[in-house]
Amino acid sequence: MDNAQTLINPRAAIIAKQNDAFRAMMPLGGHKTYLGQTVTTRAVAAKGFDFLLNAQIAVAAFNDFNEENDPYGDHTFGVVTVSGERLFWKIDLYDLNFEYGSDQPENPERTRRVLTIMLPSDY
């Protein structure tokens, strides 16, 4: 993320750091502070365990954010390639019951994340 985005929206910068930490811990079972879950579409799940594991590792390591794929600077979307297959991932920020959007998305005590890994055709 560039400094212009940070200066324009410091809240987005906080959320971006939290999202990055959440993604980084995904293959290891999740983050202890930034709570949530990871889901995949049926099409991704059908590709098997090894593919899923490699997809999680690729999403966890993603750091190619730019104005095109991260216009708000909050690191909620990305594109990775796994075994020649293009995948989208996105993070949604929910309330504690996973029913509505979080009213304080920068507050980890009031926010739960759902990271979805999908094929572009699933989006």
| SS3 state of residue 54 | helix
Question: So what's the pLDDT on residue 120?
Answer: 97
With a cut of 90, say whether residue 6 has pLDDT above it.
no
Question: So what's the pLDDT on residue 7?
Answer: 53
Outline where the chain has alpha helix (H): 3-8, 10-25, 42-45, 49-61
With a cut of 70, say whether residue 26 has pLDDT above it.
yes
Residues 5-27, mean pLDDT to the nearest whole number: 88
With a cut of 90, say whether residue 49 has pLDDT above it.
yes
Structural element, H or E, at residue 114: strand 112-118
With a cut of 60, say whether residue 5 has pLDDT above it.
no
Residues 11-40, mean pLDDT to the nearest whole number: 96
**Which strand ranges, in their side-by-side order, compose the sheet holding 85-94?**
36-40, 112-118, 85-94, 77-82
Task: Tell me the whole-structure pTM to 2 decimals.
Answer: 0.90
Token duo for residue 102 = 């979080």
Residues 71-99, mean pLDDT to the nearest whole number: 97
With a cut of 70, say whether residue 74 has pLDDT above it.
yes
